[in-house]
Amino acid sequence: MSWVVGIIGFIAGFAAGQMLLLRMLKDRSREELLSDRNLKWKYGTFNWLIAIATCLSFLALYRYYFPA
C-alpha cells in the first residue's frame, strides 16, 4: 500500500511543481522558454525535486499515521 501512496505523492508533487513553474515563468516569452537551455535544466530539475520531496513527505505521513 505504501507504493500507492508514493505514486500518488509523486503525481501530486509533479502537478504542484508545474503550478509553481507556471507562476514563476509567467513573464517569459514563448521564444525565450523554447530557446534558453539553462531554463530547461534549472526549472526542470526544480520540478523533479518538488515531486520527489512531495513523494517522500507523503510516505513519511503514511508511515506516521499507519505504522506497520
pLDDT, average across residues 30-35: 88
Domain ranges of the chain: 2-65
pTM of the model: 0.85
**pLDDT attached to residue 37:** 86
Give the chain's length: 68
The contacts of residue 10 (CB under 8 Å, 6+ apart) are 51, 52, 54, 55
Residue 68 clears pLDDT 80, i.e. is over it = no
Residue 21: what pLDDT? Answer: 94
